[in-house]
Amino acid sequence: MLKVCLDTNVWISGLAFSGVPAEIVSLAFNRKFQVVTSSLILEELNRNLVKKFDVNPKRAKHLCFRIAQIADVYEPKGTIHAIAGNHSDNLVLETAILGRAKYLVTGDKEHLLPLKVFKHVKIVEPGTFLLRLKN
């Protein structure tokens, strides 16, 4: 099965809004691809849902628990330094590598998308991923 790491921004957009990220999140929950994630991504998701989107803390925790149920959860150690500084996006890259993901889906135009490919992982925007998934 196709392994895919969804960045926190894709989860948030998909859970909070309609559109392409919501379709990707729905496909993830329906197990149309294997989700690769980490406790770091889940913690960031939980924190942002509560602080930025006023999601009830119990609801946010439940959503993260549901994601963990359908995902392979990894623990990056900080061994990748592709992005200057000790940037948390390095841990997202490491999560994708550890999980042998084919794609890292992100909306991060500043740090991740410019890489395009890192090792074996293709780094793409949600729209690009959805098109490739449907073809």
Nearest to 133 by CA among 36, 37, 34: 34
Q: What is the mean pLDDT of residues 33-48?
A: 97
Is residue 109 classed as helix, strand or coil in its secondary structure?
Answer: coil
- In angstroms, the Cα distances linking 45 to 4, 42, 81, 114, 131 are 17, 5, 22, 23, 25
> Can you point out the beta strands (E) in the chain?
3-6, 34-38, 71-74, 103-105, 117-118, 121-124
Q: What is the mean pLDDT of residues 85-105?
A: 94
Q: What is the pTM of this model?
A: 0.96
Share of the chain above pLDDT 90, in %: 95
CB atoms within 10 A of CB 124: 20
Q: Would you call 104 helix, strand, or coil by DSSP? A: strand
The CATH class of 3-134 is: alpha beta
The tens digit of pLDDT for each residue in 61-90 reads 999 999 999 999 999 999 999 998 767 899
The residue extents of the domains of the chain are: 3-134
